[in-house]
Amino acid sequence: MCGFVGFADFKNDVSSMKNILINMNSTLSRRGPDEDGYYIDKNVALAHKRLIVIDPNGGKQPMIEKCSYGDYVIVYNGQIYNTKELKNELIKNNFSINSHSDTEILLKSYIHYGSNVVNHLNGIFAFAVWNTKKKELFLARDHFGVKPLFYTIKNGCLIFASEIKALFEYPSVEKIIDSQGISELFGIGPAHTPGYTIFKDIFEIKPAHCAIFNESGFHINRYWKLKSEKHTDSFDTTCDKVKSLLKDSITSQLVSDMPLCTFLSGGLDSSIITKFAADHYKEQDLPPLDTYSIDYVDNDKNFVKSDFQPNSDNYYINLMNENLHTNHHQIVIDTPELAKYLEDAMIARDMPGMADIDSSLLLFCKNVKNEMTVSLTGECADEIFGGYPWFFRADSLNSGTFPWSIAIDERQKLLNPSIGSMVNLKSYIDYRYNESLSEVEILDCDTKETAEKRKISHLTLNWFMQTLLDRSDRMSMYNGFELRVPFCDYKLAEYVWNIPWEIKALNGREKGLLRYICKDFLPSEIVDRKKSPYPKTHNPTYLAKVKGLLSDIMKDKNAPINIILNKDYILDILNTDGSAFSRPWFGQLMTRTSAHGLSLPSEYVA
């Protein structure tokens, strides 16, 4: 895993702009702490920050392949999981392979397949390839956007990077949040509309899209999407295929030249990942798999059951460790540290995110990084298999909006009245909601329930899951740590997408089919455990600490929070212990979201 930056210009010579390239690249040092590299000529400049995971000597970037018909240069962030198959195809076509780096395989696959290479890749990736002969830049992003890729165009120059902060190091790229940005931040946030950011004229290559930049302009193309098709497999065949796809995805992601582990919460999803990974380690006669969990000081003492968090994790973690004989490690975080890293988490995202849900993952990765470089996580199972309460709750299904963003009035009230009078969050949300639903393909053979669940599954996959993937990438890569998400496999998603809801939610349970498939190889307590989200602190001192931080910020009259937000309403929230914002801000955990998690550093406001 790594980060990269670059710019391409066909009207002006950029060969003298290396200092700008270095400044852009330096902002990504946390993503790639091990090496950096540069390539620059008249029309293009490319730079790379590397986190070494595969082939320390053979994976250096930018990587150049010299051919009789021109040179190819690649910068790349990600991991290709079908390198073995690609390598065999390349050898058949007389390519020589000089390393076991997936970067070399990706570059030569691009030379072989051209822009069609994206249809031959299985993995998580964002990359750019410069063709010196055609004078053409090709950019691509993986099927679900696990790896980021942002861009802007200024005076005909394409500027791109793995993180937004790098773009701001290029002259003339301004940090402006306009009315659309306000709507994205407070209406959609911490999600975002695919392709957009909160900053004016700064965009992302959408998941499953690629682009070509040449003298004729910037051309974007979608190369993949989920297709609705009639499911004809029997129940037993369906179970066998899902299990096989899961096993293939998990085991293919266990490749690393650096220490690798799994995150284990004792929930169904992380237990599945850990079970398949531990079995693979045993079959390969490798040492026991390392697993990691997170907890908080005094959490057992302060834990309170809720619909969204019905029980704590420790009992289930111990059960899995005894069952699999893994080498388990527990990371314990204290409340002051969690609050302290709220700002780091926001800087990692380049925008406000999910408050303590972000900072806790950032700290988790920071601690695991001391011993490991790569981890597999159970993220995305709920999106793929229908695991969230909103798949079953009538109030969410009938809300007429994104089911995780129903507190629209409260969101609107957060805005400074002078800004709120010009920005109608509900109208913007309604527009994006209906725009997204128009993309859903319903089949004539779909039952009423399956059709309804296709719609909410589409919203969940393309909006909510993207937010969690953004969180996983930014919080982990901020620590030079790689997270892999085996459930977010496009082949698995393609198959599960068309399984009728009555089978997917077998026995009326969230992820009912997945539970049924696992009953023969996981403890029954794990299989039957009610969904419990990412661990959070229940220590009341956290809220007190955040209130103190927010109060201190608000004392500065020029602080962005006092310009953008309704100060009186924020003070009301503070004075009533947050009861003025009792409905979840986003998803399951963010009731009484810290407004500190919603504030922008001054350098991000025009």
Active site residues per annotation? 2
Q: What are phi and psi of 556, to 5 degrees?
A: -85, 110
Strands (E), 12-113: 35-40, 44-50, 63-67, 70-80
SS3 594: coil
Residue by residue, DSSP assigns 129-179 as EEETTTTEEEEEE-TT--S--EEEEETTEEEEESSHHHHTTSTT------H
SS3 250: helix
Which residues, other chains included, contact 68 with Cβ-Cβ below 8 Å and sequence gap of 6+? none
Let me know: does 273 contact 378? Beta carbons within 8 Å. yes
**Rounded to whole angstroms, what are the CA distances from 145 to 361, 468, 531, 556?**
19, 11, 25, 38
Dist CA 466 CA 479 (whole Å): 20
Nearest Cα residue to 492 out of 523, 451, 461 = 461
Dist CA 297 CA 303 (whole Å): 11
Which residues, other chains included, contact 336 with Cβ-Cβ below 8 Å and sequence gap of 6+? 541, 545
Dist CA 505 CA 363 (whole Å): 34
Question: What b/e sequence results for 541-563 when a residue is b if at least 16 CB atoms lie within 10 Å of its CB, and e otherwise?
Answer: bbbebbbebbeebbeeeebbbbe
What is the length of the chain?
A: 606
Q: What are phi and psi of 16, to 5 degrees?
A: -95, 10
Dist CA 561 CA 85 (whole Å): 52
Nearest Cα residue to 499 out of 122, 208, 234, 143 = 234
Dist CA 537 CA 514 (whole Å): 28
Let me know: does 469 contact 359? Beta carbons within 8 Å. no
Q: How far apart are the first and last CA of the chain?
A: 32
Residues paired with 328 in a beta bridge:
291
C-alpha neighbours within 13 Å on the C-beta side of residue 590: 22
Nearest Cα residue to 406 out of 584, 186, 570 = 584
- Hey, what's the torsion of the CAs at 117, 128, 164, 77, to 10 degrees? 70
Dist CA 139 CA 379 (whole Å): 26
Dist CA 70 CA 589 (whole Å): 53
Dist CA 236 CA 462 (whole Å): 29
**Rounded to whole angstroms, what are the CA distances from 215 to 9, 44, 73, 158, 283?**
9, 12, 18, 11, 53
Let me know: does 453 contact 501? Beta carbons within 8 Å. yes
